[in-house]
Amino acid sequence: MQNDVFKLGGHEFTSRFILGSGKYSLDLIEAAVTHAKAQIITLALRRANSETEQILDYIPKGVTLLPNTSGARTADEAVRIARLARACGCGDFVKVEIMRDSKYLLPDNAETIKATARLAEEGFVVMPYMYPDLNVARDLVSAGASCIMPLGAPIGSNRGLATKEFIQILIDEIDLPIIVDAGIGKPSQACEAMEMGCAAVMANTAIATAGNIPQMAEAFGKAIEAGRTAYLAGLGRVLEHGAAASSPLTGFLAD
């Protein structure tokens, strides 16, 4: 496991847990990052109207910042947000998320492809959040994406891997890291995503709405590691019918 490096956009990570920073106290961010052993944290960009507490002061040094384009409804808006995020001076990573639908917060795949192409052209490490569709994923690869981030379930829902079958298709067919983003509600679901062969898992709400935030961050970190190790080990086979004894069938007391 020492050599199991997660490569993304020319950078190397040992953690496969991308932690969100939304909806919980800034005071808990450092503890969450440390307990999760996370090396990437997501951020959002908003209007600055007066000096408030700066989230950057709460993020441990050395953690890679991943700004998202939340709030964008079109490719144009996502490109604009990404450029502003880069102008804040925190690197080239961007998580493209484009939503027109405010009820289910589902990503607009068509606009996401457009934004990905333009941002990749501008040198960003583009991580597109998408509805899991193989054709769209292929278009995102052609557009220059650094990974594909399919949703497990609607954002913030904690409902888990509702799209499991389609995420598996992406894992099997797409030659980029597949990172489940959105919907993962508990560590067992994150673990399952990793067992399936996802390269990483992104989670925010599951941690932000937990009883103890640093503790849940730690649980996620461990679950993701366990799932990754299981994937590398190769899962045992599943029998369609019947049983197979785990103990020897010979040498029993009865003759």
Footprint of other proteins on this chain (CB under 8 A)? Answer: 20-24, 26, 29, 42-51, 54-56, 65, 67-68, 70, 80, 83-85, 87-90, 155-156, 182, 202, 204-205
- DSSP for 72-93, written as a single string: --SHHHHHHHHHHHHHTTS-SE
Question: Containing H/E element for 128?
Answer: strand 125-130
Of residues 3 and 49, the one with the C-beta less far from other proteins: 49
- Here the tokens at position 49 are 């109207």
Least spacing, CB of residue 239 vs other proteins, in Å: 39
First to last CA, the chain: 46
Least spacing, CB of residue 168 vs other proteins, in Å: 24
Of residues 19 and 231, the one with the C-beta less far from other proteins: 19
Q: Which member of 37, 95, 103, 186 is catalytic?
A: 95
Least spacing, CB of residue 5 vs other proteins, in Å: 25
- Here the tokens at position 71 are 């709030």
Contact partners, residue 221, CB within 8 Å, separation at least 6? 15, 17, 35, 36, 37, 38
Region label for 105, one of left (φ > 0), alpha (ψ between -120 and 50) or beta (otherwise): left
Of residues 47 and 237, the one with the C-beta less far from other proteins: 47
| Helix, strand or coil, per DSSP, at residue 200 | strand
Q: Please say if 23 is a catalytic residue.
A: no
Q: Are strands 93-96 and 125-130 parallel, antiparallel or unpaired?
A: parallel
Q: Do residues 15 and 202 touch, judged by C-beta distance below 8 A?
A: no
Of residues 49 and 135, the one with the C-beta less far from other proteins: 49
Of residues 95 and 139, the one with the C-beta less far from other proteins: 95
Q: Do residues 6 and 16 touch, judged by C-beta distance below 8 A?
A: yes
Cα dihedral across residues 209, 185, 97, 221: positive or negative: positive
φ/ψ of 93, rounded to 5, equals -75, 145
d(CA 86, CA 23): 23
Catalytic residues: 95
